[in-house]
Structure 1
Amino acid sequence: MSLLLSLETSTTVCSVALHENEVLLATAEVHREQSHASKLAVLIDEVVRWADVKVSDIKGVAVSSGPGSYTGLRIGASTAKGLCYALSVPLVAVGTLEILAAQMNKTNITGARLCPMIDARRMEVYCQLFDAQSTALQPVEAKIIDEQSFVTELNEGPILFFGNGAAKCREVIRHPAALFVPDVTPSAVSLGALASQKLLRNEVEDLVHFEPFYLKEFMVKKPSTLNQPVPNKLA
């Protein structure tokens, strides 16, 4: 029995899946913002119970490597690494945009190229262009969207835009070859399918040095000093 546990935490959706020899056994997910810290362990317990296996039977753990939510990626990576250390099993990482492209590839009957987008606040997205078979055509980038975005690529043919960063781009990218698909979020089921193939090829991560691919540095605002009490200085 070769069980692979997959954890997808890169967006507001938190999902877990369990595969055996590439066959899906169980999956569970929660569509609620800021739920990863409280729900990820619960979802892991649920899929293990539903599949009627033991945690000790797991032979590998897969995690989405980003880009995406800084907090979500940290929670997923730390949980996955903890399980791998405890069970002495390998860690497999798959890019979030690659996961999204693989999901859309299954339903893409248009033959259009694929452009998954992850929201990066304001009018910026993390994105990557793939062909209709989910082969990457460009590297991952953080892109500020305006009226000229993807004009060259769209002049060459249609592109499907999807992911939680695509909706806000719909009113800006008005090219007739731009097609938008709503409500597409990365899933642990697709992550597990891709990770199963990577595990067979022994494409695993170094547990000590693995870190999610944030693409941009996480910005922490310093607290304002205005209206802060001034400490008493005793003579």
Structure 2
Amino acid sequence: MACILHIETATEVCSVAVSKDGELIFQREETKGPSHAVLLGTFVDEATKELRSKGLKLDAVAVSCGPGSYTGLRIGVSEAKGLCYGLNIPMIAIGTLKLMASAVAKKGLVDPAILLCPMIDARRMEVYDALFDSQLTLVRDVKADIIDETSFIEILKDQKIAFFGNGSAKCKDALQSPNAIFVENVYPSAIDMVDLAEDVFAKKEFVDSAYFEPFYLKEFVATIAKNKVLPPHQNVK
């Protein structure tokens, strides 16, 4: 058991929590983002002040490592790296989709026989997703899927699947099978990282904070506003 700071910034939600011996002792969360660059440092500062007031020291930092928002993940992992380096403590990486599946399973939101499919919005009809059973065993690998009426069709013939996360709402019209179940108001949160992080800490399955990179799944592609594009005849020097 340990004192662990948990950071989650993979979606529009920014959250920070601290657990001591598996019990939550601090939490801050903002769901109306994205404003991670402003909020995360403030939340972490409040968490460290709370620790000092209780005479506690951190044993590790856990961070949700993706897939998800490129910018959000970069901010969260950078903060975790800085803390681990400065405090000389280990870093724990928690997969964001597994984190979401764990929250649904732990809260008993669906029957244990139903497969769990967390979905994170990747714009248009694309989502980052994976399939887990109720024991969090990975049934289908993490993918970037473009959802249409044929998605998951073979599995849905014989098996119920619970879809949730900020990517699932836009998939309701496409996934018309009676075996497709949609669970609302599920998002990755630092408060749901506690059990997963404690398990990793006990097994000492830490990542190298000096070289670790978030699991972006896809390369970041910058876009340029149309009014910023130069006409073909203009040259940039």
- The 1-side partners of 2:161 and 2:155 are apart by 8
Partner of residue 21, structure 1: 21
Q: What residue is the counterpart of 1:206 in the other structure?
A: 208
Tell me the alpha carbon deviations over residues 187-213 of structure 1, each in whole angstroms, 9 at most, x when there is no partner. Answer: 101123211110110000011210000
Preserved contact between residue 81 and residue 91 of structure 1 (Cα < 8 Å): yes
Alpha-carbon separation, structure 2, partners of 1:109 and 1:169: 19
Whichever residue aligns with residue 81 of structure 2, its letter is K
Misfit runs of 4+, over 2 Å: 45-54, 226-231
Matched AA of 1:154: L
**Could you say which residue in structure 2 is the equivalent of 1:87?**
87
Please, which moves more after superposition, 41-50 or 31-40?
41-50
TM norm structure 1? 0.92
Residues 1-235 of structure 1: pairs in structure 2 closer than 5 A:
2-50=2-50, 52-53=53-54, 57-106=57-106, 107-111=108-112, 112-221=114-223, 224-226=229-231
What is the letter of the counterpart of residue 188 of structure 1? A
| Structure 1: runs of 5 or more not aligned | none
Whether the aligned pair in 1 keeps the contact of 2:66 and 2:73 (CA below 8 Å) is yes
Question: Which runs of no fewer than 5 residues in structure 2 stay unpaired?
Answer: none
Distance 1:86 1:53, change over 3 A: farther
Return the alpha-carbon distance in structure 1 between the equivalents of residues 34 and 179 of structure 2. 35
Deviation at 1:50, TM superposition (A): 4.2
Alpha-carbon distance in 1 for matches of 2:50, 2:212: 30
Q: Distance in 1 between matches of 2:110 and 2:209?
A: 39
TM-score, scaled to structure 2: 0.91
CA contact (8 A) 2:4 2:61 kept: yes
Root mean square deviation of aligned Cα:
2.1
Identity in percent: 46
Count of aligned residue pairs for this structure pair: 231
